[in-house]
Amino acid sequence: MKQWPPQEVRLTPGKRVLFLTKDLNLIRKQLYEGLNLRMEDLQVEDLLDDINTDVMTPAWVCFNHRPEDIALNAYAGLMQEGQRVFEERALLDGNFECIVSGFRKGTGSSRETAPQAERWCGIRLVIAASFAPIHERNNINLGQLMGDHAVLRRLQAGEGIPLAEFTQRFDPVTRLILESGGLFPFSKKLAAGELEVPANATEKRPMTMAEKIIAGKLVGSTGQSSYVKPGDAVLAQVDGGYSHEFTTAQVHEFLKNEFGADYRVKNPEKLAVFEDHLLYADGVPKMAPFADKIQTLRDLQKDFQKHTGVRDYSAQDGVSPGICHQVAREVFIDPGDLIQATDSHTCMGGGSNALTYGVGATEYAALISSGFTFVKVPESIRFELVGELQPGATAKDVILYILERYATKEMTLNRSMEFGGPGLASLSMDERATLCNMATECTARTGICEADQKTLAWLQQRRPEVDPETWRRAFIAPDVDADYDGGVHTIDLASIPPMVAHPGDPDRGIPSDPTNGAAIADLGEVPIDIAYGGSCTAGKEDDFAFYAQVVEEAVRHGRKVADGVQFFIQFGSTRVQNFARERGWLELFEKAGVEIINPGCGACIGCGPGVSDRAEQVTVSAINRNFQGRSGPGRLYLASPLTVAASAFAGHIVAYQPGMFAESKQKASV
């Protein structure tokens, strides 16, 4: 197909279709033995579900910033008995134009390298039962056509399918983007006056928080309504954003290629670059072969920052100011903001009553050059929080509960997760950030919390120069009679026990057993090798208060980190580090045998202390996702900061209970 997309889509004679099957040997036969399958030979249940972007392009693949280099190692993270299913060039040399999988294609990180790897291997048709929202958007921005298994059956039967059938399920603007061949061709046609975006005409209606923020930032056509509803396709002003050294190089290259070497960006004072993801890569032996590529990414980010004048949060003398999501919420994310950044955990900013979510490098490059972005107004699901958490439970347990109870049923899929109710007032701002941070693990678009007096106090502490009334006017509250397509769900915080998620997926949560001391129901005794506390999810001030609470109690009763266990704690920012230092916690941690790490992403991204190096190792970690191989080859259980710290002293996974280290309870076990 020379022109993309064609008005009529057909499978190209001589080209192939690759089925990603749960039977990995069938994938091998397609790749290396020439096996050709048809959709009629398989059931949807035979296809892989929840293929995450770490599998499609593991972190080390992302050290390449040119898509054609990324393509060499497409699907390098799909493993079978410790061996790659896709060897280097396997997809690139397979002569495939269509790739097929099951449900929720592209979960996990927002990395655009995942669909780029497919596209630059010749894939232009992506077939799945459903797509994770950010991944779907990245496909759209790249001009990739997506369809379901029924469409594939027709194509394999020799039918030609009109382009409109691939685009008709989308809103008018998305259809224009796809039919233009992707976001950049669309933007150029729009700027040249070759396209016209229809004005939004939604009538007055009650709105959720996400809807209100979007409605307040509409740009474009005259006659634009000041109200929106789910599904509306609009252009909206973006208040700010950020990228990091994994993504900035691509943003820089895209902008130079599309707009020339003298390109400019809008609102640079509220844009930023961060050096956080690859900070510890230099000390990781498996990263040594990629040292030159990593340095290239750093150098290109510096070039971008100098060229654009955006905020600079580069490392100084090897020490980073912190993880982008944490620093951004500390410094420049304001209530009512629309913030977009090149990372799936951008949604963490929603704890500050802002609308924040991750986008790919293509979309980010387009929005920072124009000052606005395309938004399809998401549906919302509301969680009405009541009561207060029991001792030993945290917001991490609440979100693991939501993952297991709601996300597995796709009730949160591509929706804005709204948190409110009287129980929210019992949660600190850091705990609210935890809820919103892991909205992306729920395959939601984002999470957002209502604002209250705690929000105001937190903002005033960090930005004392701003008048309190200014903050109050910026607060966004949902209308009382707002409509929630995902429903309103009451969660009694007092009923949430400490949770642990099994290795492989954050939604595999199991609760603790209140009838059996610190036991985790159905888990059995799981000895651990590594306990890790850190990441954007668990490196905040309150998280360190949790670690200190457990460590102080353990030290008071003569306990140290269990023999054979390494307990790492990593700061989310220098502000958090100073907070801990001022309270004397660094000396406390050292006394207990805890290893402290300077701010950065660390083990969560597979770099630095806390990463397993053998398949038999077991980690209990407070990070946000536990996909196989993300933090080393071992098995990784997700848990709260309290559970992680308690397990480090017990030597196996246990839920924390106040007083558990007293002499009478030292034998409490799973």
**pLDDT tens for each residue of 64-91:** 888 888 999 999 999 999 899 999 999 9
Do 177 and 292 fall within a single domain?
Answer: no
- What is the average per-residue pLDDT within 265-286? 87
Residue 391 lies in a domain: no
Query: 331-348 as b/e, with b when 16 or more CB fall inside 10 Å?
Result: bbbbbbbbbbbbbbbbbb
Confidence (pLDDT) at 513: 56
> pLDDT > 90: what percent of the chain?
77
Establish if 394 belongs to a structural domain. no
The pLDDT value given to residue 608: 82
Measure the CA–CA gap between 669 and 148, rounded to whole angstroms. 48
Q: What is the mean pLDDT of residues 463-478?
A: 96
Q: Average pLDDT in the 14-18 region?
A: 97
Please tell me whether residues 183 and 304 are part of one structural domain.
no
The mean pLDDT value of the chain amounts to 92
- 372 part of a folded domain: yes
pLDDT per position as a tens digit, 84-105:
999 999 999 999 999 999 999 9
CATH of the domain at 58: 3.20.19.10
In a domain, 611, yes or no: yes
pLDDT at 519: 57
> Strands 372-376 and 233-237, how do they pair?
antiparallel
Angle, CA of 358, 612 and 532, to the nearest 5°: 65
Per-residue pLDDT of 383-434, as tens digits, reads 999 999 999 999 999 999 999 999 988 899 999 999 999 999 999 999 999 9
Please give the share of the chain, as a percent, with pLDDT higher than 70: 96
Q: Of 127, 156, 188, which residue constitutes the final position of a domain?
A: 188
Whether residues 39 and 139 fall in one domain: yes
Q: Report yes or no on 106 lying in a domain.
A: yes
Looking at the structure, tell me whether residues 637 and 555 fall in a common domain: yes
| pLDDT at 664 > cutoff 50 | no
- State whether 178 and 244 are in the same domain: no
172 and 299 fall within a common domain: no
Place of tokens 């398949």: 615
User: 177 and 101: one domain?
Assistant: yes
- Check whether residue 305 and residue 167 sit in a common domain: no
Q: What is the mean pLDDT of residues 487-507?
A: 92
Query: Residue 668: which pLDDT band, with cuts at 50, 70 and 90?
Result: very low
- Residue 231 gets which letter from DSSP? T
Q: Taking the CB of residue 196, how many other CB atoms lie within 10 A of it?
A: 11
Domain boundary among 154, 188, 222: 188
Q: How confident is the model at residue 516 (pLDDT cuts 50, 70, 90)?
A: low
Query: Based on the domain organization, do 19 and 139 belong to the same domain?
Result: yes
pTM summary value? 0.83
Domain contains 258: yes
Q: What is the pLDDT of residue 164?
A: 97
Q: Residue 460: which H helix or E strand, with range?
A: helix 453-462
Distance CA 526, CA 523 (A): 7
pLDDT (tens digit per residue) in 532-548? 999 999 999 999 999 99
Task: Look at residue 521 in the predicted model and tell me its pLDDT.
Answer: 60
Q: Report whether pLDDT(605) > 90.
A: no
Q: Residue 228: inside a domain, yes or no?
A: no
Whether 557 has a pLDDT exceeding 80, the answer reads yes
481 lies in some domain? no
Final residue of a structural domain among 166, 188, 210: 188
How would residue 667 be classed by pLDDT, with cut points 50, 70 and 90? Answer: very low
CATH code: domain of residue 241:
3.30.499.10
Residues in the chain: 670
Range of the structural domain that residue 361 is part of = 236-346+356-376
Between CA 136 and CA 128 the distance in angstroms is 11
Domain count for the chain, please give it: 3
- Indicate if 181 and 248 belong to the same structural domain: no
> What region does 207 belong to: left with phi over 0, alpha with psi -120 to 50, or beta?
beta
What per-residue confidence (pLDDT) applies to 3?
82
506 pLDDT exceeds 70? yes
Instruction: Give CA–CA dist 670/660, Å, rounded.
Output: 12
363 CB-side CA count, 13 A: 31
Whether residues 182 and 289 fall in one domain:
no
pLDDT of 192: 83
* Same domain membership, residue 270 and residue 133: no
